[in-house]
A and B are shown apart, each in its own frame.
Chain A
Amino acid sequence: MDIAAVVDVAAPVLGSGIRLSVPLLFCCLAGLWSERSGIVDIGLEGKMLAAAFASGVAAAQWHSPWAGLAVGILVSVAFALVHGYASISQRGNQVVSGVAINFLAAGLTVLLGQVWYGQGGRTPQLEAPERFLSLEGDFGIGRLLGAGTPQAHLWSDVIAGHNLLVYAAFLAVPLTWVLLWRTSFGLRLRAVGDNPHAVDTAGVSVAGLRYRAVIVCGILCGFAGTYLAVAQSAGFVRDMTAGKGFIALAALVFAKWRPFNAMGACLLFGLLDAAAIRLQGTPLPGIGTVPVQVFQALPYILTVVLLAGFIGRATPPKASGVPYTKDR
């Protein structure tokens, strides 16, 4: 088998893996921001679902994907603030609050969708100009690599030709790293997730930092939801997140709460998904037909194995999940 043939098979799978990893990546980074500040968030799924619905409604209403993005982010941040209020101000159980957020989104989206459009929770089908479409062309790099060569093929199928939000997701990775690891704001935010008492002693508001982290988390989940409803699909359908928020949570554990690891984990899980779709019913050489469920189960199995400490050690930020009570 020559390289060109391998590329012919691999390039579409790689490209689709990247596209499938985008909602995971947005959500995973969202969870990273929240948990680094000490707020456990299992409501990523719910916020993403709420944002998907809101963006689908807004994009259809104002005929613009940007309106969809804006409203998707707004709604997701509103849900994030409910979680923040319960976790930070009321010092409630953060896992319980996250569960509530997930159900609130699952119920409200379908309920309102049914009342407004009467299509079983769907939002109206979006036309092309109302969506984030794949960018045309290949940024002129293809010709540089030589037309028809395998590397040009790889470039055009894997790197180029995605929609704007795909690039935004991968841009959010270094941005998160710089903000959290190279600014004093980031230092404080991470400190608040490890040792809030120290930050409080230094005269910085623990609640203020945590609220800011939760808002960033909401914004990123807003991107994730918008990507699902306005870029990947042409509108919202009920339960369209289908557990991606929890896979993102798994990826976060897998990434040991670090942004570039998060990108790697999400790409891995996205590729597994793409491979499962591609390999459906095709026998693998030497193994035979692998049931598609094996690929679907792999992210969960890998995470459980990692959490049990068999491949390295995944230690969450020390104060995550612990409500902060000021000493008197």
Chain B
Amino acid sequence: MSAPHRELPPIVDYALLPLVNVTVAFLVSGLVVLAIGENPIEAVRIMIAGALGYSEGIGFTLYYATDFVFTGLAVAIAFHAGLFNIGAEGQATIGGLGVALVCLTFDGAPWWLVAPFAIAASALFGAAWAYLPAWAQARRGSHIVITTIMFNYLAATLMVYLLVEVMGKPGAMSPETRMFAEATRLPFLRDFLTPFGIDLGQSPLNPTVFVAMLAAWGVWLLIWRTKFGYELRTVGQNPSAAVYAGIDPGGIVIVVMLISGALSGLLAVNEVMGTQHRLLLEFTAGAGFVGIAVALMGRNHPVGVVLAALLFGMLYQGGAELAFEKPKISRDMIVVIQALVILFAGALEHMFRPTLARIFASAPRDDR
């Protein structure tokens, strides 16, 4: 096979090309704003002011980013093993079931006592929901993309059943469990920071943000500093080479998907125990899918994932402000931006490579 793409200097490959791709995605988003008769530059100004301009906005930005770090890491670690996990949404949903079961069982116990169990349950339930697609991919040869999509719908259907027929609070307007006791809820960071003169307003930022940071560090450690990480990258890059090296690709696939599912599940700690304080339908609000854009934009590296998650956190918070000030630009604009990032940073990631290669080939080289 001929190499489809020419070699580029690493700095261009890892920094400039992704930057160009994301920039194009945002330029096209600007054209969409222009097409609906608004000023894109003003829109960006409102979004940045809304996301970073005051401490409540920053609180919301970090709260959204927490979700996206979890799902971004989940998608990224699967990508490293050559797997596309579209099931983060469903895994997070079932993770929420785990959190709710723990919180409802130990209702009234102090949050710091319940939190470790809730975290473990969210990861365990998320991993369990990823197990069957992983097993089917590894041992039965079915395709992980299709099965994880099916499992998203199965999770949603199961949740409707459980909340309507089994766990739901009787007489509630919408299918949801009762609220957790005050003591069992994760505390809001705003309550700690007010004495220091930092006003996070109504933002639901909670200690889960630190769990997200830990998770990012842990994923980095796992992928680049352990034997297992080496094996999973080998399976991702060349499964047949992995077999010759004595690695069982099927086993790696299953374990990677369990980790991916566990990371997705952790999102539920932020949403169910930290923000909503009850289990309700669709609490994931599409964060599982944002994880795809975040992983692609962050080039599947934990540092990139955190940065991309912050950017999407800004988009979500800034987008809410924008929709408030410019009703024509509804929050669906964020979905459009998300789609364009996935398109340009993912599917079309090599589009500008030949152009950049030409520019850097004609530049004088000093390495000889």
Contact = CB atoms under 8 A, between A and B. Distances in A.
Interface string B340-363: 101100111111000000000000
Nearest to A111: B332
A291 B161 contact: yes
B2 A325 contact: yes
B142 A309 contact: yes
Given A86-B347, A115-B328, A309-B141, A325 B4 contact: yes
Given A100-B347, A103-B289, A107-B334, A307 B86 contact: no
Contact of B158 (A249, A293, A304): A293
A182 interface: no
Nearest to B3: A325
A253 B289 contact: no
B328 A114 contact: yes
Contact of A328 (B2, B142, B161, B165): B2
B4 A111 contact: no
A96 B157 contact: no
Nearest to B135: A308
Contacts of A143: none
Contacts of B149: 42, 246, 249
Nearest to A91: B4
B330 interface: yes
Interface residues of B, number: 51
Given A42-B149, A107-B333, A107-B334, A96 B347 contact: yes
Interface in A86-119: 86-87, 90-97, 99-104, 106-108, 110-112, 114-115
Contact of B153 (A104, A107, A114, A300): A300
Contacts of A301: 150, 154
B150 A90 contact: no
Given A91-B4, A115-B36, A300-B153, A307 B147 contact: yes
B340 A304 contact: no
A316 B85 CA distance: 19
B336 A96 contact: no
A103 B291 CA distance: 13
A296 B292 CA distance: 26
A2 interface: no
Contacts of A316: 143
B336 A99 contact: no
A302 to B, nearest CB: 9
B49 interface: no
A164 interface: no
B351 A104 contact: no
Main secondary structure of the interface of B (DSSP, over half): helix
Main secondary structure of the interface of A (DSSP, over half): helix
Interface string B101-128: 0000000000000000000000000000
A92 B350 contact: yes
B347 A107 contact: no
A111 B27 CA distance: 17
Given A90-B351, A96-B296, A110 B330 contact: yes
A174 interface: no
A90 B5 CA distance: 11
A283 interface: no
Contacts of B332: 106-108, 110-111, 114, 121
A92 B329 CA distance: 30
Given A91-B350, A293-B161, A304 B330 contact: no
Contacts of B153: 243, 246, 297, 300
B339 A104 contact: yes
Interface in A277-327: 291, 293, 296-297, 300-301, 303-304, 307-309, 314, 316, 325, 327
B136 A308 contact: yes
A253 to B, nearest CB: 6
A250 interface: yes
B349 A92 contact: yes
A59 B60 CA distance: 42
Interface string B257-298: 000000000000000000000000000000001001000100
A80 to B, nearest CB: 14
B236 to A, nearest CB: 13
Interface in B281-336: 289, 292, 296, 328-330, 332-336
Contacts of B292: 96, 99
A300 B147 CA distance: 9
B338 interface: yes
A307 B330 CA distance: 39
A97 B347 contact: yes
Interface in B7-55: 32, 36-37
B146 interface: yes
B172 interface: no
B342 A107 contact: no
B84 interface: yes
A111 B338 CA distance: 14
Contacts of B211: none
Nearest to B139: A308
A110 B335 CA distance: 10
5 contacts: A92-B346, A104-B340, A110-B332, A250-B150, A304-B132
A-B CB proximity, top 9 nearest: A107-B335, A307-B142, A97-B347, A103-B339, A107-B336, A92-B347, A100-B343, A104-B339, A96-B346
Interface of B: 1-2, 4, 32, 36-37, 84, 86, 132-133, 136, 140-143, 145-147, 149-151, 153-154, 157-158, 160-161, 165, 289, 292, 296, 328-330, 332-340, 342-343, 346-351
Given A106-B332, A106-B339, A114-B332, 15 more contacts: A86-B343, A90-B350, A96-B292, A96-B296, A96-B342, A96-B346, A99-B289, A99-B292, A102-B339, A107-B335, A107-B338, A108-B332, A111-B332, A114-B328, A297-B157
